[in-house]
Amino acid sequence: MSATTPPAATTATHRRPAARHDWQSSEVEALLDLPFADLLYRAQQVHREHFEPNRVQVSTLLSIKTGKCPEDCGYCPQSVRYDTGLEDESLLQLQEVLAAAQRARAQGATRFCMGAAWRAPKDKDLQAVIEMVKAVKALGLETCLTLGMLSADQAEKLRQAGLDYYNHNLDTSPEYYGAVISTRTYRDRLETLEHVREADINVCCGGILGMGEARRDRAGLLLQLANLPKQPESVPINMLVRVEGTPLAQSQDLDPFEFVRTVAAARIMMPASHVRLSAGREHMSDELQALCFLAGANSIFYGDKLLTTPNPAADHDRRLFERLGISPEQ
Ligand code: SAM
Ligand code: DTB
Ligand code: SF4
pLDDT at 266 over 70: yes
Q: How far apart, in whole angstroms, are the C-alpha atoms of residue 265 and residue 259?
A: 10
Q: Which of 42, 111, 113, 205 is catalytic?
A: 113
Q: What is the mean pLDDT of residues 8-28?
A: 73
Q: What is the pLDDT of residues 284-321, one digit of tens each?
A: 999 999 999 999 999 999 998 999 999 999 999 999 99
Q: What is the pLDDT of residues 162-190, one digit of tens each?
A: 999 999 999 999 999 999 999 999 999 99
Contacts of residue 48, Cβ cutoff 8 Å, sequence gap at least 6: 8, 12
Q: What pLDDT score does 15 carry?
A: 58
How many angstroms separate the alpha carbon of residue 111 from the centre of ligand 3? 22
Q: Of the ligands numbered here, which is closest to the C-alpha atom of 81?
A: 3
Would you say 101 and 50 are in contact if contact means Cβ atoms under 8 Å apart? no
- CB distance 238 to ligand 1 below 6 Å: yes
Is 69 catalytic? The answer is yes
pTM: 0.94
How many angstroms separate the alpha carbon of residue 298 from the centre of ligand 2? 17
Q: Which of 111, 197, 204, 281 is catalytic?
A: 204
pLDDT at 13 over 60: no
Q: Of the ligands numbered here, which is closest to the C-alpha atom of 116?
A: 1
Q: What is the pLDDT of residues 202-211, one digit of tens each?
A: 999 999 999 9
Of all residues in the chain, the percent with pLDDT exceeding 90 is 93
Closest ligand 3 atom to residue 72 Cα is 6
Q: What is the mean pLDDT of residues 39-59?
A: 96
Closest ligand 3 atom to residue 116 Cα is 8
**Regarding predicted confidence, which is higher, 46 or 11?**
46
pLDDT grade for 4, boundaries at 50, 70 and 90: very low
Please state, rounded to an integer, the average pLDDT across all residues of the chain: 94
Residue 98: C-alpha distances to residues 60, 105, 130, 131, 309 (Å): 13, 10, 13, 10, 21
- 158 burial (CB, 10 Å; 0-12 / 13-18 / 19+) is buried
Is 292 catalytic? The answer is no
Is 113 catalytic? The answer is yes
Q: Which residues line ligand 3 (CB under 6 A)?
A: 69, 71, 73, 76, 78-79, 117, 119, 148
